[in-house]
Amino acid sequence: MTEKTAQPDASQGRARWLVASVAFACFLCMLNTHTINIALPVIAQHFQVDTGMVARVTLAYLMTMTCLLLVFGKLDDQLGLKRLFISGYGLFTAGSLLSGIAPSLGILILGRAVQGIGASMLLTTGTAIIARHVPPNRRGWGFGIQGAFSAAGAMLGAPLGGLITQYAGWHWVFLANVPVCILAAVLAKWAIPVEKPSAPARQVMATFDWPGAGLSFAGIFLLLSGLNMGRKLGWASPAILTCFATGVLLLLLFMVRERKCAAPLLNLALFRDRAFTCANLAGMAAFMVMTGSNFLMPFYLARYKHQSAAATGFVVMLFSAVFLLASPIAGRLSDRIHPARLCAAGMACAIAACIILQLTLQMPGLMPALVFLGLFGFSFAMFASPNNNQVMGLAPPAMAGTAASVFRTAGTFGSASGLALFEALFSMAPPRAAVAADPAAMLASGFRAAYGFGALLCLAALVLSLAAGRLANWQTIQAHRKEIKP
């Protein structure tokens, strides 16, 4: 794709609808990640299966979505963003319909996998669409709106899933997507500018790096499988160690192939830009903390503060609510202020939030949790959209799809590993003697260990964000974006 075709070409009015279309896709993907969790017990009862089997309904969606990000990032750059984005809606619709009418658990899992393919296309392509077609002075605003819609999907997913499951049945958790996706695809077809593919589709598919795609898919799948099953099987079990070792080996082979391949799936030239690498690593560290905290906080409220499930659900919504309100503001600020400074400020607030929780978690009442969740939500709103803006601003225009897939994959790895590490630190921190002597002290010790680790990760994200800012002159990047031939 030439430099000319890569330049933003959406008018201000059209840009609003374009961003709305992309943001709604993120909302839909996040909503479906959370609505299904409430319906899982009913689905297990309907098909007469145990929790281990029904968990595959969620894993099929998440694993398929994650493992294909790099593949669709490359196809975005070759076939055109609009084509892939609307095709993503088509697959998401088909997967939703198949899941809603599924006569067996196996068909439901297949439908969720198809949904995951569609979600992977939507998430990767959506980020690249904003980077390529929204004017540079409004790009942060676009990512802020996208982040706000994602937070809204996460916040509304559980209560909406509960209402639909209770009053309409679990089938409608999926079937309700069908008319919504059709309308959203119509909006996307109108709002997103048409791009000329770099080559005919048949030629693209014939020269596509299929071996690289297979190696990356298998490597990412094994690593995520190890992270997902580690708590159940034991982190030192042969199965988990084999998953990790084989996954790392396959990804190393993937990197070797990409260096030698004439048309690589992932152009490693992207990582020669140290600012781009630092910004992605900062995002990975931050997502580790956010997901780990979102996993542990309900346990703090339920086990340590003895709150009911309903009360716990409403309290943890504070994080998403603050994120939802602050994200558009942070995104807009990143159009005027160097994004690295906003990322660093956000992580400084997150460090303060973790330390405050460590010092106050044994205080009576819910105030420690409320203060932490409010400050934590603000911190990550200040980080997420500016970090997204920084990463995509550092990427060459013709490689927006690939850069978006790298950004999304880094975030997913951060989320999966953060959950695993927070759980492990929480479980292993207290000595065994403390369990029998004082269970409350054991819990407090576990929470302090996990959030102390979280503060260190936030510090790493802060340093990496500042390093990315110092390595790249943001004004120069915005005015003269470099081109790396894919």
pLDDT tens sequence across 144-162: 888 888 888 877 877 788 7
Residue 61: which pLDDT band, with cuts at 50, 70 and 90? confident
Nearest to 41 by CA among 228, 231, 155, 170: 170
* pLDDT at residue 473, as a whole number: 63
Residue 87 predicted with pLDDT over 60: yes
Residue 201 predicted with pLDDT over 70: no
Residue 478 predicted with pLDDT over 60: no
Between residues 55 and 349, which one has the greater pLDDT? 349
* pLDDT at residue 70, as a whole number: 81
* pLDDT at residue 6, as a whole number: 42
* pLDDT at residue 483, as a whole number: 42
* pLDDT at residue 352, as a whole number: 95
8-state DSSP, 169: -
* pLDDT at residue 21, as a whole number: 85
Evaluate whether 392 touches 127 at the Cβ level (below 8 Å). yes
- Tell me the per-residue pLDDT of 258-273, one tens digit each, with 9 for 90 and over: 888 777 777 777 788 8
Cα distances (Å, whole numbers) of residue 347 to 8, 292, 356, 464: 30, 15, 14, 11
Angstrom distance (rounded) from CA 349 to CA 341:
12
Sign, Cα dihedral of 104, 160, 164, 292: positive
The percentage of residues in the chain with a pLDDT greater than 90, rounded to a whole number, is: 19
Between residues 33 and 76, which one has the greater pLDDT? 33
Angstrom distance (rounded) from CA 205 to CA 210:
9
CA–chain centroid gap for 15, Å, is 23
Residue 3 predicted with pLDDT over 70: no
- The residue-averaged pLDDT of 177-203 equals 80
* pLDDT at residue 35, as a whole number: 79
Tokens 């896709």 belong to residue: 25
| Averaged pLDDT score across all residues of the chain | 81
Evaluate whether 361 touches 92 at the Cβ level (below 8 Å). no
Residue 481 predicted with pLDDT over 80: no
The neighbour count for residue 485, using CB atoms within 10 Å, is: 9
Nearest to 378 by CA among 424, 416, 346, 342: 346
Angstrom distance (rounded) from CA 238 to CA 235:
9
Between residues 478 and 280, which one has the greater pLDDT? 280
Evaluate whether 61 touches 36 at the Cβ level (below 8 Å). yes
Q: Backbone phi, then psi, for 382, in 5-degree steps?
A: -70, -20
Residue 344: which pLDDT band, with cuts at 50, 70 and 90? very high
Between residues 194 and 175, which one has the greater pLDDT? 175
Token reading at 254: 């993937």
Residue 474 predicted with pLDDT over 60: no
Q: Backbone phi, then psi, for 287, in 5-degree steps?
A: -65, -30
Amino acid at 249: L
Token reading at 48: 């007469």
Between residues 406 and 439, which one has the greater pLDDT? 406
Evaluate whether 276 touches 391 at the Cβ level (below 8 Å). yes
- The residue-averaged pLDDT of 432-447 equals 67
- The residue-averaged pLDDT of 235-261 equals 88
Token reading at 396: 């060459």
Angstrom distance (rounded) from CA 425 to CA 235:
12
- Tell me the per-residue pLDDT of 291-316, one tens digit each, with 9 for 90 and over: 888 878 887 887 788 877 667 777 88
Tokens 């152009």 belong to residue: 267
Nearest to 159 by CA among 317, 325, 292: 317
Angstrom distance (rounded) from CA 129 to CA 81:
7
Amino acid at 256: V
Would you call 306 exposed, middle or buried from its count of C-beta atoms within 10 A (0-12, 13-18, 19+)?
exposed
Residue 482 predicted with pLDDT over 50: no
Q: Backbone phi, then psi, for 376, in 5-degree steps?
A: -65, -40
* pLDDT at residue 12, as a whole number: 59
Among 13-17, 330-334, 449-453, top mean pLDDT goes to 449-453
To the nearest 10°, the Cα dihedral for 255, 260, 262, 265?
-10
Evaluate whether 390 touches 341 at the Cβ level (below 8 Å). no
Angstrom distance (rounded) from CA 269 to CA 272:
5
Residue 230: which pLDDT band, with cuts at 50, 70 and 90? confident
- The residue-averaged pLDDT of 188-207 equals 74
Q: What angle do CA 441, 442, 445 make, to 5 degrees?
A: 85
* pLDDT at residue 355, as a whole number: 94
Residue 444: which pLDDT band, with cuts at 50, 70 and 90? confident
Evaluate whether 131 touches 146 at the Cβ level (below 8 Å). no
